[in-house]
Amino acid sequence: MPVAVDFLPMHVLVFGAGSLGSLVGGCLARAHEVTLVGRDPHVAAIQRDGLSITGALTADVQPAAATTPPTSADLALVTVKAYDTPAAASSLAAVDCPVALSLQNGLGNEAILADHLDCPVLSGTCTYGARLVEPGHVECTGVGEVVLGPREGGESTIATEIGRAFTAADLATRVAANMPRRRWEKLAVNAAINPITALARVPNGALSAEPAATIAARTAREVARVARANGVPLSDAAAVEATERVIETTAENRSSMLQDVEAGRRTEIDAINGAVVDRSSDAATVDDRTAVPLNETLAALIRTWERERD
């Protein structure tokens, strides 16, 4: 049951009702009014029979579901793939909403949303595991944590209110003042795990053994060096520790990029390893550019697969 905290029920618009959006939105529906915006046949199944959550969390909830967003909401929770962020931002610009929160992978999503929306845009990370089993049914493959806060760092009253609202729905949630560092740490984890598991077709736990363990650790260190070159204090040790922790706690999970590759879908490589490569060039001069050979290689391999899939 949801824990008792001081909060006001919200109308939460979840833009991007895929696996993660459906899981988080479904959990929020235990304490709030929720509208899941996604695609058919998933939306049609939820309209007809509700949303079933199984696995590490279980619930049967009845959120609203639609293929287009409502005209207003108290919170816009954005969970689309990074490459769909511009389209999501354009759609959300017509919604009367006082705050937006991105729980997306990669870098740059919050800036795109902020350019389109006339409201504060919070940054967030989420380590809950999710898998869309079938239309109307999402599996929680691992209980994690939602961390959120102002995208530029610091504290805000509205971030605290959103944190309370999430906690009221029994989602493990933390409001943090150091979101730039946390965002780069999450990027290091994604860059080290997602493309390797996608290329090798293995679950996360396979990266705890050699030879993948060394590749993952080196990839995470490259991200940490680029973070520091961009003014974000993320140490090599912290990036590797976070990566190893996620590998251990999500050993049975199949990463989102692996799921995309298995389904023949476009991946988020441009916003993950591709973003690391881009930031390594932007933050340094030609003479002292931060070298990221593993991120370059992983991005090139996934992009080659995508090109052949057209």
How far is it, in rounded angstroms, from Cα 274 to Cα 126?
21
What 3-state class would DSSP assign to 156?
A: coil
How far is CA 227 from each of CA 171, 186, 193, 300, rounded to the nearest angstrom? 29, 11, 18, 21
What 3-state class would DSSP assign to 53?
A: strand
Residue 128's nearest CA partner among 25, 206, 268, 35 is: 25
Quick one: pLDDT at residue 62? 97
Query: Mean pLDDT in the chain?
Result: 93
Tokens at 95, concatenated: 């919604």
Query: What percent of the chain is helix, strand and coil (3-state, nearest 5)?
Result: 45, 20, 35
Quick one: pLDDT at residue 310? 74
Residue 165 is given by DSSP the state H
Domains observed in the chain: 11-177 (3.40.50.720), 180-309 (1.10.1040.10)
Pairing of strands 121-126, 146-150: antiparallel
Whether residue 88 has pLDDT greater than 90: yes
Indicate the burial class of 116 (C-beta count within 10 angstroms; 0-12, 13-18, 19 or more).
middle
Residue type, 36: L
Tens-digit pLDDT profile for residues 245-273: 999 989 988 999 999 999 999 999 999 99
Q: How confident is the model at residue 9 (pLDDT cuts 50, 70, 90)?
A: confident
Whether residue 284 has pLDDT greater than 90: no
Indicate the burial class of 50 (C-beta count within 10 angstroms; 0-12, 13-18, 19 or more).
middle
How far is it, in rounded angstroms, from Cα 147 to Cα 248?
20
Residues involved in catalysis: 186
Do you know the residue count of the chain? 310
Pairing of strands 51-55, 59-61: antiparallel
Tens-digit pLDDT profile for residues 193-244: 999 999 999 999 999 999 999 999 999 999 999 999 999 999 999 999 999 9
Element (H, E) at 160: helix 157-168
Tens-digit pLDDT profile for residues 11-61: 999 999 999 999 999 999 999 999 999 999 999 999 999 999 999 999 999
Residue 195's nearest CA partner among 80, 297, 309 is: 297
